[in-house]
């Protein structure tokens, strides 16, 4: 079992494993991705990155490979192992005590897509409870020391109070969104849509019979000759038969 009682290193190891789940990387590539993912609240240096990678190697969570296509001085490529996948899941689900703190929650939130909706709701609710406790403590401090602190300190405390309130509202919206995905049933189809779906499922498929090319070409001349004969008959004036001519009265023939 991975050690989850450490504060700082575990969060860095969680971020490393989460990024290596995407793809294997060189050390410098990993540092760049860490800066892109965590740079807004956590600067990672090589002095902390490589010791963390060595710890993960010692735990068999990460392995090192050497690409055969590289020539010259080959660089280590770090890749997550099946054990590393299990450690990542353990760290991400927040069994350690720092899951609700600022850095701990922010790192986990960057990889929320790997969690089930129920687990996301649990972590969001724990973070909301943590911030509500912080807000209450800050509010009490302001009331207790309001008369003994200067205006700048009071303004800073008001700012922190407002920021905490904003974060709580943001978490509440996230929780509502996740709950809708988990608990809301799928909409039932309307009678018209259900009837159309049954009709489509019971309808016999239309089968087109393919006609051999030889048969098509054999029928084509006959159809063309018939069409020509029909056109000739329509364009030629009718000539009465000899018997019909004899039957016409002489006056009419004259």
For the chain, give the mean pLDDT. 78
Interior angle at CA 100, CA 96 and CA 101, nearest 5: 100
* Calpha distance 242→254 (Å, rounded): 16
Kindly state the average pLDDT of the residues 153-160.
Answer: 93
Residue 85 and residue 122 in one domain: no
At 48-96, the pLDDT tens digits run: 999 999 999 999 999 998 876 665 566 889 999 999 999 999 999 876 6
Number of domains the chain is built from: 2
Gap between the Cα atoms of 84 and 81, Å rounded:
5
Domain boundary among 143, 158, 184: 184
Residues 74, 21, single domain; the answer is: yes
- What integer pLDDT is reported at residue 105 of this predicted model? 92
Please list the residues that pair with 26 across neighbouring strands: 77
What was the pLDDT predicted at 43? 83
User: DSSP alpha helices (H): ranges in 149-209?
Assistant: 151-183, 191-202
Domain identity same for 124 and 84: no
Inter-residue contact 13 to 56 (CB < 8 Å): yes
Among residues 184, 210, 235, the one where a domain terminates is 184
86 and 23 co-located in one domain: yes
Residue 9 has phi, psi (to 5 degrees) of -55, -40
| 143, 178: one domain | yes
Residues 3 and 88 in one domain: yes
Please check whether residue 128 lies inside any domain of the structure: yes
Cα separation, 208 vs 33, whole angstroms: 56
Is the domain of 87 the same as that of 120? no
Residues 3-49: pLDDT tens digits? 443 445 688 999 999 999 999 999 999 999 999 888 777 788 899 99
Does some domain include residue 136?
A: yes
> Are residues 28 and 90 located together in one domain of the fold?
yes
Name beta bridge partners: 64: 78
Q: Provide the CATH number for the domain around residue 66.
A: 1.10.10.10
Among 114, 141, 170, which residue terminates a domain?
A: 114
In a domain, 234, yes or no: no
In a domain, 79, yes or no: yes
> Is there a contact between 18 and 114 (Cβ–Cβ < 8 Å)?
yes
Query: If we measure between CA atoms, which residue out of 15, 226, 246, 33 comes closest to residue 109?
Result: 15
Q: Is 248 helix (H, G, I), strand (E, B) or coil?
A: coil
Residues spanned by the domain of 72: 1-97+107-114
pLDDT value at position 191? 56
Q: Is residue 12 included in any domain, yes or no?
A: yes
Q: Is residue 240, in this structure, part of any structural domain at all?
A: no
Percentage of the chain modeled with pLDDT above 70: 64
Question: Which pLDDT does position 149 carry in this prediction?
Answer: 87
215 in any annotated domain: no
How far, in whole angstroms, is CA 166 from its chain's centroid? 27
What letter would DSSP give residue 7? S
Beta bridge partners of 25: 78
- Report yes or no on 86 lying in a domain: yes
Token pair recorded at residue 221: 């001349």
- pLDDT of the residue at 108: 93
Same domain, 75 and 144: no
Q: Are 56 and 147 in a shared domain?
A: no
pLDDT value at 176 more than 60: yes
């Amino acid at each position: 079992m991975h050690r989850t009682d450490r504060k700082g290193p575990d969060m860095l190891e969680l971020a490393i494993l989460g990024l290596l789940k995407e793809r294997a990387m060189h050390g410098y590539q990993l540092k760049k991705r860490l800066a892109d993912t965590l740079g807004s609240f956590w600067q990672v240096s090589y002095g902390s990155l490589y010791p963390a990678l060595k710890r993960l190697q010692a735990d068999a969570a990460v392995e090192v490979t050497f690409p055969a296509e590289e020539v010259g001085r080959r660089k280590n490529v770090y890749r997550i192992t099946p054990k590393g996948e299990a450690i990542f899941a353990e760290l991400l689900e927040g069994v350690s005590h720092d899951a609700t703190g600022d850095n701990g929650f922010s790192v986990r939130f960057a990889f929320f897509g790997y969690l089930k909706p129920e687990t996301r709701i649990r972590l969001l609710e724990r973070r909301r409870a943590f911030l509500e406790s912080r807000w209450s403590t800050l509010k009490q401090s302001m009331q207790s020391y309001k008369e003994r602190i200067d205006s700048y300190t009071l303004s800073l405390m008001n700012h922190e109070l407002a920021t905490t309130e904003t974060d709580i509202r943001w978490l509440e919206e996230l929780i509502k969104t996740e709950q809708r995905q988990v608990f809301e049933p799928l909409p039932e189809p309307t009678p018209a849509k259900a009837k159309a779906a049954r009709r489509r499922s019971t309808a016999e498929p239309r089968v087109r019979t393919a006609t051999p090319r030889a048969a098509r070409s054999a029928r084509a001349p006959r159809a063309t000759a018939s069409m020509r004969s029909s056109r000739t008959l329509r364009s030629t004036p009718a000539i009465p038969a000899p018997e019909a001519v004899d039957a016409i009265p002489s006056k009419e023939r004259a």
